[in-house]
Structure 1
Amino acid sequence: MNRPNHIHFTASGSETAQAAFAELVALYGQVPIGAADVIVALGGDGFMLQTLHAGAGLPVYGMNRGSVGFMMNDYVAEDLPARLAAAEEAEINPLAMRAQTADGAIHEALAINEVSLLRVGPQAAKLRISVNGRVRLEELVCDGAIVSTPAGSTAYNYSVHGPILPIGSDVLALTGIASFRPRRWQGAILPSSALVRFDVLEADKRPVMADADSRSVKPVLWVEVRSEPGVAHRILFDPGHGLEERLMREQFA
């Protein structure tokens, strides 16, 4: 990007992030978000997702003041404007979730990483899965299921043995969580244009919640998930440390 002259800093509530915020504002000043060229987010991956969801259409450069920091750059206070000018930009299209709860209300949310369905009671969930209006799995007995973007494929999806998807690929990962029946179902890789629908079977007996990047609704009767190409989140990374390289490293760790 061009050398930024107006930086807006934002930080999570942790002591480490707040200390970094104070240091950087003292060094570079603070510009209101409406007058900024770029947002610098200080925290962990969860805070990065919050910052991206907040919108404003600005590129976001994260510096890790949290734990994992997969979406963050290393924290270095010196020469920040030069780092921002040299940064590589990646655009991520989120998922759009639409869900109906038991009271009849319709809920909508966007998710940069994944939309997950999770059982909320002691019994396994039963889900019917349809893709583009055609039933593909009559009944999945499980703890839940995930639809993941390439950017989110190394997060919750990977922890339940879902595939890592290359950045820029026009696909989504559909992964079961502790799938019990069909026992050998390994999930699916779907085109990004797919509309995935989950219908909750025996919803009263086996309640299920839906979660889009930590925004939860429950109990749900059905959930639809699709990619949202009309929204693009802009993320900045130091040269040679972008999402594509990070995903590659995850596969050889």
Structure 2
Amino acid sequence: MSDALWVVGDTCPAARPYPGVRTLGDVHHALSVGELRRVRLVPSLGVGPLDWDHLADRVAGAGLVGSVTLAAPPPRPVARTEVSVPAQEDVLVAAPRNDHGTVEFALAVAEGNRIMRDHAAGGRQLPGQLLVEAAIQGLTWAARELYPAERDQPPVQPVLYGFGFEFHRPLFWLPVTVRITLSETGPPDPRRRPLNAEIAYLQQDRTCARGHVGFQACDPRSVEDTESVQSRAVGAPPPRAARRTPGE
């Protein structure tokens, strides 16, 4: 019977001390020197579909098919435009699905993700900022899925006005499921829809963290108009007081 080995991305160095967890680079090295036998590889955070395809090719090239087996590939992240981020490696939403108003997705962490690069050095758990960003991307996808724009109109843009998060247990390098439930908090108008998002983060079937976000799903053109007016108001110089002459 093959032992299971979790494979995590090379940007997850804190996973090295844990038994049953190896980085992708370590696995490639072990294959090249013949150290892996009778093992089942399972993808975890930091490993993408293309990484898994390449690893399957390496296993085949080493003549280890049957001895080294691969679990199903990791879920594919959505396109960056679907969650309004500028770089594909920063997308955290993979394989989202909508079930009667509740959206679930797998947390994706690609090599080069800016939050992991800037906030995870030396840490043994996922940084809280990564989980907050996952919530924002997830509710963006959920709002567009549940409240799609009219034909030929731009997709809605979330504008946040309040949020809070509670972290009950650390989340580590194992797969994470994020569950988001949206509810309307007021009557919509043509420009915006007030919504609340309840977020749960699950790992190994345990709820490790929760969050809630209050936001408005807005027509992005109205957001630009509002911000333009407000920026002019903030940037306008204060009115000058009338100059007074001595003795007045």
Task: Give TM-score scaled by structure 1 length.
Answer: 0.27
Q: Kindly indicate which of the two structures has a greater share of residues assigned to helix.
A: 2
Task: Give TM-score scaled by structure 2 length.
Answer: 0.27
Q: Which has the larger radius of gyration?
A: 2
| Higher relative contact order structure (alpha carbons within 8 Å, sequence separation ≥ 6) | 1
